[in-house]
Amino acid sequence: MKGTDRNSVSAPIKVLLIVVGLIFAAVGLGLLVGGAMLISRGGSWYYLLMGLALLISGVQVARGRPSGTAIYTLAFLATVVWAFWEAGLDFWALHARIFTFLCAFFLLMLLHPLILRRAGRQPAAALNMSVAGVALLAMVGMVWGMFLPHGHLIAESPTGQSPVADAATSNWANYGGDTNATRFAALDQITRDNVQDLEVAWTFQTGDTPQSPGGGGAEDQGTPLMVDDTLYFCTPHNTVVALDSASGEEKWRKEFPSDTSTWVRCRGLAYFDAASAVEQPTVPGSTQVPPVVLSEGSACQRRIYMNTIDAVLVAIDADSGELCSDFGDAGRVDLKTGLGNADVPLYSLTSPPTIAGTTVVVGGRVADNVAIDMPGGVIRGFDAITGEMRWAFDPGNPQDRNAPVTDQTFVRSTPNVWAPMTYDPASNTVYMGVGNAAIDLWGAERSELDETYGGTLLALDASTGNEKWHYQTVRHDLWDYDVPMQPTLIDFPDGNGNSVPALVFGTKVGQLFVLDRLTGEPLTEVEEHEVQPATIPNEPYATHQPVSVGMPQIGAQRLTEKDMWGGTPFDQLMCRYIFRGYRYDGLFTAPDTDYSLSFPGSLGGLNWGGVSYDPTSQTMFINDMRLGLWVHMEPQAENAAASDGSEAVNAGMGAVPLKGTPYSVLKDRFLSPLGIPCQEPPFGTLTAVNMQTRSVDWEAPLGTVQDTVLFGMKTHLPIPIGMPTIGGSLATQGGLVFFAATQDYWLRAFDSATGEEVWKARLPVGSQGTPISYVSPETGKQYVVISAGGARQSPDRGDYLIAYALPEAE
């Protein structure tokens, strides 16, 4: 009788074991059903088998049978083996497969002595507690690992090894830092050894706080300029402010009010000094740069140019903030002229103008997927002093450089140039990435010229607008895979000790192309890959696409079921089930009336932030986002109305009509039921590419989930999983790469040799801007400046410009 008492359990303990067993059984039943659904789509058998084991184990635990623990232990050990077989040593992939079941195993080890006592058997408490202790240590290790960055160091980049002899590049007079668009500051006051001492030098609030309901409103994506002692910045609603670069005190502001509320942003400005000597090209056969015609002592010797969201090019006196009266119509040039119906937001400008010698070159954003009949994508060059149009390159009429005659327009609905451009003074050439004709997802009525110029890198003579060459990165684009970024000009090592004048740019599918600047020919290997067509009637699908295999591809692997991820086993199971339900043929999976998956999606991959490049070490730094997009096309009525052109991801809006086509479209990000990207992390990285070896030196995750909102609340967990990025990076000769445009509220500095995070500063809100760096002529100090107006997926918005510098020496 005494032995029976010793081995019995109290009623509450019995109830506890029954509840735990029923929970195990319920989880098992859910996995069993989900696993059967996954198998029906040709997926893994693991979830069904694990669900069956959990169900039986839970029933046995609820009945007080020790076999329940044994069954679960075997299933857990099998899970560990399966996890390593599927995921290798990838931390996040292993975590998703093991951690939840490890916690359940730990709980069961704690309870097993009670299960034994309930069954009338002698508990092996010491053994069970020892196993539970090992499980607890493993759990603590996996939790600890969640707060560590899981990047890859393959080789150290030879950065920051050459001291700066002078501060010749102390200004930031161009959108990309210099005319080569390297986003590189040859400054080394701030180094990897002292960056931890950086502190806020000044903060300025512009008064323009952007709001972006639904993702298609106003956003701060600005990059400032700094010339001599003045910092210039444009707010999302096109207010231009000039600040003292050392103190942040306002010198002047000029506002350009607008009623536009869709896709409102200003990425940057352009600067021109009419008093500076005109640089003529050195490449034989290049056209000459037209001279400046402006009398000495005239107003507006130094000018700031901005494209407004209402499609007006404005010229502002850089010293006073007044409009330059000799430019266009009292300082303004209406860029809608010659376009026909070009109401905002169907036609607008978000990127800065490009100063190409003495010509101001502008493209224009044509809203995607609105209607067949849209404004054309003409590129135009204007005299920097008078605003008179010097030339126009119309992709629908590429032989004519003139404005259309009265009552006619530039060809409608042609491919457009919305991203920033780059000017090469050596050859007087302006380089630009070209997007699509008006409808991305349906191309049955595109012209031969649409097919010729869509998805290309285009080189134009800056003085005449004549085409020099174009190179196509995607054929018959049905994915919105525009060339999204400003090209960066480099001297590319040819492997024989020499270099070739080249340009480098990335694409939305994570590819890097290296082209000869003079000919447009690839300098690294590009292969033709066969791709699968879909079944939309009369769609002239491309059968092959160019793939840049001679350079690393960033975050654009072909997904498999094994790449699916989730915060819980159910999340991962559902991502596998969803993935198996899509049609997916890898890169360039064409949209159709079924549900197809594009990875990367139309956001990228790589986007408008561009790359930064350290010419002293020939190292390129690339930030990316890894977001898939599912697409479903639906037949629609002939008279369907057009959308508003916001370009926000539209699953919550229902099917969006593509006016003038037989279809509307429904699309959204490839997310789990918890709102997490379905493929495994990282979802955004910073990658260093060695241009001599054409290989990756290191890769580091960018950003944490600290400020990510799930179920209406911020997580507050600084887990460096690597989040999608949208802005650009800044490299410096001090051996650093600065970056802010993640989904959390930090400006970070990374050791450019290894990718190690060596400093970070908390911002009041998130940022989508690109940092700049300069030396103030007043203080002689190096500053790093970033705009912070709010991260895209965050509800928090602000209007901040923040400068950082080292403290005064004692």
Strands 199-205 and 347-348 come out as unpaired
Q: In the structure encoding, which two tokens stand for residue 223, read together?
A: 């990059």
Backbone angles phi, psi at 106, to 5 degrees: -60, -45
Q: Are 316 and 326 in contact (CB under 8 A)?
A: no
> What is 275-302 written as a DSSP string?
TSPPPPP-STTPPPPPPP---TT-S-SE
| Six token digits for residue 445 | 């009525």
Identity of the residue numbered 513? F
Burial bucket for residue 78 (CB in 10 Å: 0-12, 13-18, 19+):
middle
Region for 27 from its dihedrals, namely left if φ exceeds 0, alpha if ψ lies in -120 to 50, beta otherwise: alpha
d(CA 98, CA 88): 13
**Tokens 């198998």 correspond to what residue?**
39
The DSSP-derived string for 450-514 is HHHHTTEEEEEETTT--EEEEEESSSS--S-----S--EEEEEE-SSS-EEEEEEEE-TTS-EEE
Calpha distance 467→481 (Å, rounded): 22
| Among the listed residues 85, 147, 173, 531, the one whose alpha carbon sits nearest the alpha carbon of residue 355 | 173
Is 480 considered catalytic here?
A: yes
> 665, 656 in Cβ contact below 8 A?
yes
What are 612's two structure tokens? 């930064």
* CA-only gyration radius of the chain, Å: 29
The catalytically annotated residue of 383, 424, 480, 744 is 480
What gap in Å lies between CA 488 and CA 106, rounded to an integer? 53
Give the pair of three-digit tokens for residue 157.
């980049």
Determine contact, residues 613/621, Cβ cutoff 8 Å. yes
**In 326-377, at which residue ranges do the beta strands (DSSP E only) sit?**
332-334, 347-348, 354-356, 359-362, 365-366
Three-state secondary structure call for residue 262: coil
Amino acid at 638: E
Q: What is the pairing mode between strands 685-690 and 595-598?
A: unpaired
- CB burial string 595-624: b at 16+ within 10 A, e below: bbbbbbbbbbbbbbbbbbbbbebbbbbbbb
Task: Give the strand pairing for 184-185 and 730-732.
Answer: parallel
783 bridge partner residues: 774
Residue 752 to residue 758: CA distance in whole angstroms: 10
- Vertex 463 angle, CA 461 and 464, to 5°: 70
Phi, psi of 420 (to 5 degrees): -60, 155
Residues acting as catalytic residues: 480
